[in-house]
Structure 1
């Protein structure tokens, strides 16, 4: 069956589009009262993530309510460490927390390489969502980039500096590569499973790219992202979003990814000059959506004009914040849909 709206896939592949496709990171989230009502049906975030029916429900909500051009499966990047044998908790108002962390070679040896079947609840959610979407829009699958997952597995929680994780890179480089390799193989298995379950396009989130130096990023992050892109890009388009890693744009463009996600701190024209004709995605500051209607319109028009229509996917430069007004989000989506170059 052909997709009724395939704008996102065409833009990712560099094909002609009538307008820029638009979707939003964290569109299936607390910005929607409907999401909060569904979330209230479960006791914990992890229980919520592991319920395919509820995950399907909140994945589709933004398509119906916000009018976005794609659905992104509701899940979490930390399902991979859990499937490898390192369970996590999601603490209210604090974020992820690991009771056990990786400290030694023995800890790394004890981790398994995850298979898609170890994440059956995600595959079921994808299958159910694909069926319920009925080919209206593409379905986006995703995973965390290996360095970002490594950072949580060593640090044990979120951090401004990830100094424990970086200390491990500097003092145990061989063990670091062993762990990153295991995470990479697990991620490839997981994403291949997502494609088999119905994902039309994939995104890698390297949320903590920006805490590494350029040299460290190439050695401990991009090398593994490139492996994942090589394994998956023959199947579906792959987007790489490496937050705050402006220095790596040219090198990210040298991977086999189709699209590159950008945060709001980089100029679109500068990004174009460094990315060898790759499709670019982004890069509105989520805080723009706190502004008045006139400001949102003018700033969104400026972003669209700066990127241009070819090879462009409109998005934010980070996820939506929970207290943004849903009506402002709908306005942003509609501005993009109505824009004429």
Structure 2
């Protein structure tokens, strides 16, 4: 196991990108704002397209050498401070006994959705070791970068994975998911407990393989009211986050359209909350009493703008952060297909230049 980046006895003006990123997650002083991107390895990048011509998405995820190659190529091409392992949120489904596939234009499809207590009872929790290929990919990435940049592992959050299991894919209204929450409390609790068991083990494998940080994606939690989040999601998410933190790494917790949920999400104890682009970063951080680090939150579609506007938006976010320890620059969601690669690279240069001015100013 590779030694994790030290968070103490480091001079803030002589940081590697990896140390800078981890320190920011822990709200420790850094010389400039670290930057990486959600979906930084993906369809917008020609190198990834070349790999996809010969391999499906799941093949790339399940072959450590391919997942590592895609991860490393993107991080080096963009010159970011952290590399997030190439994987998919739904990978834990297979060892739990739930088959899924990706259909063109449909996204992930679960052919036999989980709808009853009996369905939940059949899900396995004893085969998480079958996900070891993700840890192998992380080992390869960490071995390549040797602490020069941070390595991020990740998993889905219990609510988001449950929603895919129950709906059978994406959903507009999440009727089946919420109906189980409301009308089958025993099934819901058992499903949450089983997901935490599998996800904890999955995250542990990634940390032991030298992931410096774990990001937990709660992509669809924004569909919940504050009351439903607190009643049905917060307790189990807090349990998972504390379990992952016990492995010795910071946790980033991210959801979409979650402005109303941010105070409740803070109660999970996550080290970093990811912010989408709909909420001004300064207002969101202040509403959290600066009690955790924040990540974000440029609108991904801004990457299609002219350089002058991109630079202005980057500067605006950095001004809102104000050089306060604990800001990681990122998008408010993932890079979309057809995004100009040169514009993503330009954002990195802008963050490096402008955050240094803000920090020293």
Which residue is 2:83 aligned to? 71
Q: TM-score, normalised by structure 2?
A: 0.91
Question: How far is 1:165 from its partner?
Answer: 1.4
| 1:159 alignment partner, one of 159, 162, 171 | 171
> Where does 1:267-282 land on structure 2 (aligned, <5 Å)?
267-276=280-289, 277-282=291-296
Which residue is 1:218 aligned to? 230
- Contact 2:117–2:186 at 8 Å: present in 1 too? no
Aligned to 1:89, the other structure's residue is in SS state strand
CA RMSD of aligned residues (A): 1.4
Which residue is 1:32 aligned to? 45
| Greater shift in the superposed pair: 231-240 or 142-151 | 231-240
Are residue 100 (structure 1) and residue 112 (structure 2) matched? yes
| 1:237 alignment partner, one of 244, 247, 250 | 250
| 1:322 alignment partner, one of 333, 337, 340 | 337
- How many residues of Structure 1 are paired with residues of Structure 2 in the alignment? 340
Which residue is 1:89 aligned to? 101
| Greater shift in the superposed pair: 315-324 or 172-181 | 172-181
| Greater shift in the superposed pair: 115-124 or 25-34 | 115-124
> Where does 1:192-231 land on structure 2 (aligned, <5 Å)?
192-231=204-243
Separation of aligned partners in 2, 1:169 and 1:151: 10
Residues 164 and 2 of structure 1: CA distance in aligned 2, closer, same or farther (over 3 Å):
closer
Question: How far is 1:123 from its partner?
Answer: 1.4
Question: How far is 1:2 from its partner?
Answer: 7.2
| 1:117 alignment partner, one of 124, 129, 133 | 129
- Contact 1:71–1:140 at 8 Å: present in 2 too? yes
| 1:284 alignment partner, one of 273, 278, 298 | 298
Are residue 249 (structure 1) and residue 262 (structure 2) matched? yes
| 2:31 alignment partner, one of 18, 35, 39 | 18
Question: How far is 1:64 from its partner?
Answer: 1.1
Are residue 142 (structure 1) and residue 159 (structure 2) matched? no
Are residue 9 (structure 1) and residue 22 (structure 2) matched? yes
Residues 165 and 313 of structure 1: CA distance in aligned 2, closer, same or farther (over 3 Å):
same
Separation of aligned partners in 1, 2:235 and 2:95: 23
Question: How far is 1:308 from its partner?
Answer: 2.0
- Contact 2:276–2:333 at 8 Å: present in 1 too? yes
The list of structure 1 runs, each at least 4 consecutive aligned residues, that deviate by more than 6 angstroms after superposition, is none
- Contact 2:109–2:169 at 8 Å: present in 1 too? yes
Separation of aligned partners in 2, 1:173 and 1:317: 33
Which residue is 1:264 aligned to? 277
| Greater shift in the superposed pair: 249-258 or 14-23 | 249-258
- Contact 1:201–1:236 at 8 Å: present in 2 too? yes
Separation of aligned partners in 2, 1:314 and 1:115: 36
Aligned to 1:315, the other structure's residue is in SS state coil
